């Protein structure tokens, strides 16, 4: 008998004495193919070799001794390749359970037998190497998932905690600044404090909205409710509290419910309305909603402001992007609002689009699927 070890390093072939001449030829082919192999003349010798080495494959001539060896190896449940060669002059029929013990049965007279055995060896060891790589990659993926989940939990905790801890002192400082305006006769100092407060409020607002994007749970909502929710939130912001009259609502009557997360959609609308007010040159802006024939509702925020150059539209949804170097100084903001919009819209498995022309304004729009409401049975009941 002869046994083949690991591919290109482990091969063992168990050689039966009566077929020594044939297996000597096989050994030559194994050596040329780069395998290491060990020869064992008996079952006992073979078991000793197998116990002391990492055996990848066993090739043996069919005999009662071979069956006993194969049965013993199967009990060990090792992932070895088992090849049984059947001699030409064998008079007794093959044992019925031989197919459950081996991977391949090859007649000794088969043409190119050595080539077939070497092909089986190569495929087996290639498969073992691939399985090892898959297991290694699986462990790496699992570890990466664990680290990603831990980082995600940490990020979420930081965002939520920071948002919560900042909002209370922010309200207190806002109240203090309001009192200062009544008590201190220094408009320049008060204006400086209010401007600083507005910038701080914007950053807290962005952190809060980021926290809101972490829990997206779409369900049936009324678009007008989401718009009103966004408008109320804008009214609480220092810079926007006096601009509500610039917002016009153009939402189709009897619009069916849409499938969206209310807080997420309201955050999107709040950012888009805020930007429209900011860049709209004090002109009215419009929030639009109407049903389309493709099963969706078209939602848009439209302004008549400065517009966006075509070569800059693809970048406006990147974090911290500003249309030009002066936009931060002139309009304020950290350039994260539209990145949040894209994140929320992506979570809803749709996309945000922008139509714009410099000097004429911009329209940011997207679509959400609407929910069909079953027809009422009142008419049938009346009949």
Decide if 209 is inside a domain: no
pLDDT band for position 355 (cuts 50, 70, 90): very high
Q: Is residue 365 domain-shared with residue 221, that is, in the same domain?
A: yes
Is 377's pLDDT higher than 80?
A: no
Q: Is the pLDDT of residue 348 over 80?
A: yes
My answer on whether 365 and 227 are in the same domain is yes
Provide the pLDDT for residue 2. Answer: 60
Residue 286: per-residue pLDDT: 94
Do the domain assignments include residue 94? yes
Residue range 78-104: average pLDDT? 81
Residue 29, C-beta contacts closer than 8 angstroms, at least 6 positions apart: 114, 115, 117, 118
pTM above 0.85, yes or no: no
Look at residue 328 in the predicted model and tell me its pLDDT.
44
**Region 148-157 average pLDDT:** 67
Q: Is residue 253 part of a domain?
A: yes
Work out the pLDDT band at 25, boundaries 50, 70, 90. confident
> Is 149 a domain residue?
no
> CATH no. for residue 24?
3.40.50.2300
Q: What is the percent of the chain with per-residue pLDDT over 70, rounded to a whole number?
A: 77
**Residue percentage of the chain with pLDDT more than 90:** 17
Domain stops at, among 86, 110, 134: 110
- Do 222 and 102 lie in one domain? The reply is no
CATH classification at residue 251: 3.30.565.10
Interatomic CA distance for residues 286 and 246, integer angstroms? 8
Count how many domains the chain has: 2
Residue 348 lies in a domain: yes
228 lies in the same domain as 362: yes
Q: Is the pLDDT of residue 94 over 80?
A: yes
The whole domain housing 296 covers: 217-369
With respect to residue 143, please indicate whether it lies within any of the assigned structural domains.
Answer: no
Mean pLDDT of 277-289: 87
33-56 per-position pLDDT tens digit: 878 777 777 777 777 777 766 778
- C-alpha to C-alpha distance for 81 and 71, rounded to whole angstroms: 13
Which of 60, 37, 40, 141 minimizes the C-alpha distance to 108?
A: 60
With a cut of 50, say whether residue 121 has pLDDT above it.
yes
Mean pLDDT taken over the chain: 78
Q: Report in angstroms the alpha-carbon separations of 318 from 65, 322, 366.
A: 72, 9, 18
User: In 213-347, where does DSSP find H-type helix?
Assistant: 223-235, 262-279, 327-331, 337-347
Are residues 227 and 99 part of one domain?
Answer: no
Judged by average pLDDT, the poorest of 75-89, 337-351, 355-369 is 75-89
The answer to whether residue 315 sits within a structural domain is yes
Q: Are 379 and 369 in contact (CB under 8 A)?
A: no
Give domain status of residue 301, yes or no: yes
Residue 240 contacts by C-beta under 8 Å, 6 or more apart in sequence?
234, 274, 277
User: Is residue 363 within 8 Å of 301, Cβ to Cβ?
Assistant: yes
Mean predicted confidence (pLDDT) in 108-132:
84
pLDDT of 242 higher than 70 = no
pLDDT tops 60 at residue 319? no
**Gap between the Cα atoms of 106 and 247, Å rounded:** 84
**For residues 5-31, average pLDDT:** 59
Q: Read off the tokens for 105.
A: 């049965």
The residue out of 110, 142, 170 marking a domain boundary is 110
**Residue 351 and residue 225 share a domain:** yes
* Domain end (from 110, 135, 168): 110
CB 12 within 8 A of CB 58: yes
């Amino acid at each position: 008998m002869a046994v083949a070890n690991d591919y290109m390093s482990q091969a063992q072939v168990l050689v039966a004495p009566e077929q020594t001449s044939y297996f000597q030829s096989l050994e030559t082919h194994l050596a040329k193919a780069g395998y290491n192999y060990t020869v064992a003349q008996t079952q006992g010798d073979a078991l000793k070799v197998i116990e002391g080495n990492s055996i990848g494959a066993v090739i043996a001539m069919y005999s009662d001794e071979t069956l006993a060896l194969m049965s013993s190896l199967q009990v060990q449940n090792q992932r070895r390749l088992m090849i049984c060669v059947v001699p030409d002059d064998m008079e007794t029929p093959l044992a019925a359970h031989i197919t459950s013990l081996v991977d391949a049965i090859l007649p000794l007279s088969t043409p190119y037998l050595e080539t077939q055995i070497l092909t089986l060896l190569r495929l087996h060891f290639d498969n073992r190497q691939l399985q090892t790589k898959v297991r290694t990659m699986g462990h790496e993926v699992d570890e990466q998932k664990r680290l990603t989940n831990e980082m995600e939990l940490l990020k979420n905790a930081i965002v939520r905690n920071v948002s919560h801890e900042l909002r209370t002192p922010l309200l207190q400082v806002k109240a203090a600044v309001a009192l200062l305006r009544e008590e201190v006769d220094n408009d320049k100092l008060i204006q400086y404090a209010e401007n600083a407060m507005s910038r701080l409020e914007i950053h807290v607002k962005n952190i809060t909205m980021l926290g809101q994007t972490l829990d997206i749970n779409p369900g049936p909502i009324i678009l007008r409710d989401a718009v009103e929710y966004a408008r109320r939130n804008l009214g609480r912001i220092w810079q926007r509290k006096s601009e509500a009259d610039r917002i016009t609502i153009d939402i189709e009557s009897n619009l069916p419910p849409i499938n969206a997360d209310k807080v997420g959609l309201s955050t999107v609308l709040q950012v888009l309305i805020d930007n429209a007010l900011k860049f709209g040159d004090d002109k009215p802006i419009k929030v639009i909603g109407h049903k389309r024939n493709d099963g969706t509702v078209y939602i848009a925020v439209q302004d008549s402001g400065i517009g966006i150059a075509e070569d800059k539209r693809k970048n406006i949804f990147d974090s911290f992007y500003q249309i030009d170097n002066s936009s931060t100084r002139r309009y304020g903001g950290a350039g994260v609002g539209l990145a949040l919009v894209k994140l929320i819209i992506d979570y809803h498995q749709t996309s945000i689009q922008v139509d714009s022309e410099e000097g004429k304004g911009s329209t940011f729009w997207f679509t959400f699927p609407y929910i069909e409401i079953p027809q009422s049975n009142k008419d049938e009941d009346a009949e």
